[in-house]
Amino acid sequence: MPQRKPINWLNTSFLLTTPILALIGTVCLAVYGHIHWQTWVLFTIMIFACGFSVTAGYHRLYAHRAYQARWPVQLFYLIFGAATFEGSVLEWCTDHRNHHRYSERDYDKDPYSIEKGFWHAHIGWLIRLDIESRDFSNVEDLKANGLVRWQDKYFVPLAFFMGLIFPTAIAALWGNALGGLIIAGFLRIVMVHHSTFFINSFCHIFGKRTYCKEKTAVDNWVLALLTFGEGYHNFHHRFPIDYRNGVKFYHFDPTKWFIRGLSYVGLTTDLKRVSKEKIERTRQQAAG
Ligand SMILES: [Zn+2]
Ligand SMILES: [Zn+2]
């Protein structure tokens, strides 16, 4: 019986207190205080800015190098990505690259392996995360990027500033600082956290194995709605280099539209696609 790793109290207390603060705070504000409509607009903008920073930035740009982005776009991803409290790009990508590399080969090396159960893949892995054991040898290419190194070095102050102080200060402009902190801060953090976690849990269990039957990853269009298109996870595990996850034109994948939209104004380049023929051949083999 392998020894269980000790509890990471920093992660555990953060992951436990943020939903409590978000829930109690939102109810109390709605009942005893006031949430301005502008605060809900700010919440929505923060959801999109942080969501795209994770899906288009952390995931498809940095972890998979599925396209290139100019520095203003990278800066946007790095500061709003920090606001999600999901770790720095270097931390997030070393784990994610190990997830892809080992998800079918060596469960102990996949940080959020579904073979260890839904709870472990969703959040349990963070509760027992051993930060010291990360070796970062699979992100040497990212360490060469000065902006990425800067985000890693100043991650904690950046996360607190962009994640909590910034929405509080903006909402103070219309006299709703507390609403900004609770709604655009804590509630938004919890929602972005769990939509990211859903990919590692739900999207390795409930859905279709369209492109590869051997992979645990599945395509789930409902999850795609909640995760800016990341729900087409079987396609993604089969073709991680493709900047799209929802590969058909009618698949709801706002992240691919965002990346492609930026390419029309020259802010993103070198968008990688697997050929239609190869995708179709792979789909038929999996169906056969
Ligand atoms: Zn991935
Ligand atoms: Zn996965």
Q: Is 242 within a domain?
A: no
111 lies in a domain?
Answer: yes
What's the gap in Å between 162 CA and the centre of ligand 1?
25
Residues 6+ apart with CB under 8 A from 128: 4, 5, 6, 7, 8
- Residue 92 domain flag: yes
The residues whose Cβ lies within 5 A of ligand 2, an ion, are: 217
Residue 96 placed within a domain: yes
DSSP state of 61: I
Band (1; pLDDT cuts 50, 70, 90): low
Residue 259 lies in a domain: no
In the reported structure, the alpha carbon of residue 204 is separated from the centroid of ligand 1 by a whole-number distance in angstroms of: 12
What is the overall mean pLDDT for the chain? 96
Q: Which ranges of 112-154 would DSSP assign to H, the alpha helix?
A: 118-119, 125-127, 140-143, 146-153
State pLDDT tens for residues 128-143: 999 988 999 999 999 9
Q: How many angstroms separate the alpha carbon of residue 22 from the centre of ligand 2?
A: 27
Let me know if residue 220 belongs to a domain. Answer: no
Of the pLDDT bands very low, low, confident and very high (cuts 50, 70, 90), residue 288 is confident
288 lies in a domain?
A: no
Residue 69 belongs to domain spanning: 9-207
Residues 214 and 203: beta-carbon distance below 8 Å: no
pLDDT tens sequence across 165-207: 999 999 999 999 999 999 999 999 999 999 999 999 999 999 9
Report the distance separating Cα 154 and Cα 157, nearest Å: 6
CA of 202 to the centre of ligand 2 (A): 10
How many domains does the chain contain in total? 1
Task: Determine contact, residues 254/262, Cβ cutoff 8 Å.
Answer: no
What pLDDT band is residue 34 in, cutting at 50, 70 and 90? Answer: confident
Give the model's confidence band at 4: pLDDT under 50 very low, under 70 low, under 90 confident, else very high: confident
pLDDT score at 66? 98
pLDDT at 96: 98
- What's the CA-to-centroid distance between 124 and ligand 2, angstroms? 15
Residue 104: band (very low, low, confident or very high) from pLDDT cuts 50, 70, 90 = confident
- Whether residue 110 is contained in a domain is answered as yes
Separation of CA 220 and ligand 2 centre (Å): 12
Residue-wise pLDDT tens digits, 54-86: 999 999 999 999 999 999 999 999 999 999 999
Q: How confident is the model at residue 14 (pLDDT cuts 50, 70, 90)?
A: very high
Q: What is the pLDDT of residues 206-238, one digit of tens each?
A: 999 999 999 999 999 999 999 999 999 999 999
